[in-house]
Structure 1
Amino acid sequence: MSGGFSRPAWRLLILAVFALFALSGCSLLWGPQQAPIVEATVMPVEPASAPVAASAPEPVETEAAEPEQSKKPKKPVVKPHKVEPPPPVVTAPPPPPPPPPPLIVLRTIERKEAHALLDSEVQKPDGKVVGRAVDLIADAGGKPREMVVNLQGFLGVGDRKVNFPWSAFRFTPAAKTAPITLNAAAIPANAAKTAAAGVQLPLIDATVERSNGAKVGRVIDVLIDANAQPQAVVLDVNGMVSTERRTIAANWSALRFVTKDKELHPLIDLSDAQINATPPYASDKPIRAVSPAPPPAPAPASAPAAAATSTAVSNARAAR
């Protein structure tokens, strides 16, 4: 043949290939052959460590391959501040309600400071008893004008009642003898004319009324002090508020005298409740003279009301 290998050469090539495969097959049968020693730089081999126990395969993060996204900054977690409740407000207890207004006003008069007029002995300056007092006559202003004295006759015969001016008497409430002294020399010459002037009222047995005309009681005595001034009247209030006989003393200053039909009428504003609240009068005990309690004072106006009143007054003045 022309060109290429000659046939004997071709055959030799085929034989060589088969021989090569045969040798390689023997190496597989007879075990591994020692690798040829190659001169090269030998790296130091570290001694084998103890076998490490195989750990569980870590999970493969699928997001590892994805591009890392920009993380938003986390807002700081603010824990709510615990608001403590304010301390309890300690309020003062409300003041006790004011006591009810008093019904009456009482004034104590000692026995040595005032003496009953009715049936008291009347003596002359020399100490001789000439009679007994039986009445007091007052004018419209409540001022004593005369005293009626029952002058004694012989053995009670010829007794007569005589009016003497009030200025002719001297009073000694604490005296053990006659508490009233009559000084006849002190009687003025015009005493009769003076006594007849104006409207006057015999006080003993006079009926005391309220302003509305209701009956309060009957005057049964008058208490006089050492200055010849009436301090109280003794009233019989029997049948006014109870069926029992009861007497009370009322302050002279609580009496008012008004003229009706040309006559004087004593007035005192004592209600049934006030009469019941008055201690009874007793001749052997200190005198407790009653007067009606004054009306309660008006409550002070509140601040808003006072301000409104002031504003209204200011506006009224400005309008003028």
Structure 2
Amino acid sequence: MRKSALFAMAVGCLALSSAAPFARDRGNDIASLPTWETVFSHRDLQGVLGASVHSTSGEDMGHIVQILVDQAGTVRAAVIDFGGFLGVGSRKVVVDWGALHFAPEDQPQQIILDLTREQVKAAPEYRSGKPVVVLGAVSNPNPEF
């Protein structure tokens, strides 16, 4: 019995030592993959969470509190905290990403929404975990959402 246990241990050690040259360090594979980089001017990028949104007539429409993406990672809509005063009485509505327009770099940073205050006011409230109703501009319908 003792001999068979020693034999099994010897075979196991031999198998492990012969497998070592074939073992691969996966960390080195990842480090050797080619990478790329893109350099943006600080004027080319702006954060949108918390950014103020205005109508085309200059009315305050609220601010962006969330970005919604589809399963492919494509930005589809923004959740806007609309109405109220200091967060009291406000509600969240979802607007199509295509209805938002970002000012060129030579103008003050602002986001313009192609919807009126009345249209946004009539939109159903966004609630996480419930079906999402996306409000879009008539000139930019997005039936794929």
Per the normalisation by structure 1, the TM-score is: 0.30
Q: Which AA in structure 2 matches 1:272?
A: R
SS at structure 1 position matched to 2:126: coil
> C-alpha separation between the residues in 2 aligned to 1:184 and 1:275?
49
Q: Find out whether 1:291 has 2:133 as its counterpart.
A: no
Aligned to 2:61: 216
**Could you tell me how far 1:263 is from its partner in structure 2?**
4.3
Whether the aligned pair in 2 keeps the contact of 1:251 and 1:289 (CA below 8 Å) is yes
> C-alpha separation between the residues in 1 aligned to 2:55 and 2:110?
10
Q: How does 1:162-173 map to 2 (within 5 A)?
A: none
> C-alpha separation between the residues in 2 aligned to 1:220 and 1:258?
19
SS at structure 1 position matched to 2:115: coil
> C-alpha separation between the residues in 2 aligned to 1:184 and 1:250?
41
Aligned to 2:126: 281
Q: Which AA in structure 1 matches 2:78?
A: V
**Against the structure 1 CA distance between its residues 282 and 189, is the aligned structure 2 distance closer, same or farther, given a 3 Å change threshold?**
same
**Against the structure 1 CA distance between its residues 185 and 235, is the aligned structure 2 distance closer, same or farther, given a 3 Å change threshold?**
farther
> C-alpha separation between the residues in 1 aligned to 2:59 and 2:93?
17
Whether the aligned pair in 2 keeps the contact of 1:237 and 1:247 (CA below 8 Å) is yes
SS at structure 2 position matched to 1:275: helix
Aligned to 1:115: none
Q: Which has the higher contact order (CA 8 A, sep 6+)?
A: 2
SS at structure 2 position matched to 1:273: helix
Q: Which AA in structure 1 matches 2:58?
A: G
Structure with the greater alpha carbon radius of gyration: 1
Ranges in structure 1 where 5+ consecutive residues have no aligned partner? 1-182, 295-320
Q: How does 1:48-63 map to 2 (within 5 A)?
A: none
Aligned to 2:79: 234
**Could you tell me how far 1:248 is from its partner in structure 2?**
0.2
Aligned to 2:96: 251
- Between Structure 1 and Structure 2, the one with more helix by share is 2
Ranges in structure 2 where 5+ consecutive residues have no aligned partner? 1-29, 140-145
SS at structure 1 position matched to 2:104: strand
Q: 1:190 aligns with which of 37, 48, 54?
A: 37
Q: Deviations over 1:202-254 (max 9, x none)?
A: 010011111232211100000111222101100000328xx622110001111
SS at structure 1 position matched to 2:69: strand
Q: Deviations over 1:122-165 (max 9, x none)?
A: xxxxxxxxxxxxxxxxxxxxxxxxxxxxxxxxxxxxxxxxxxxx
Q: 1:203 aligns with which of 48, 72, 89?
A: 48
RMSD: 2.9
Aligned to 2:9: none
Q: Which AA in structure 2 matches 1:210?
A: S
Q: How does 1:90-129 map to 2 (within 5 A)?
A: none
Whether the aligned pair in 2 keeps the contact of 1:200 and 1:264 (CA below 8 Å) is no
**Could you tell me how far 1:292 is from its partner in structure 2?**
3.0
**Could you tell me how far 1:284 is from its partner in structure 2?**
1.6
SS at structure 1 position matched to 2:118: helix
Instruction: Number of aligned residue pairs: give it.
Output: 108
> C-alpha separation between the residues in 1 aligned to 2:50 and 2:33?
29
**Against the structure 1 CA distance between its residues 197 and 232, is the aligned structure 2 distance closer, same or farther, given a 3 Å change threshold?**
same
Percent of paired sites with the same residue: 24
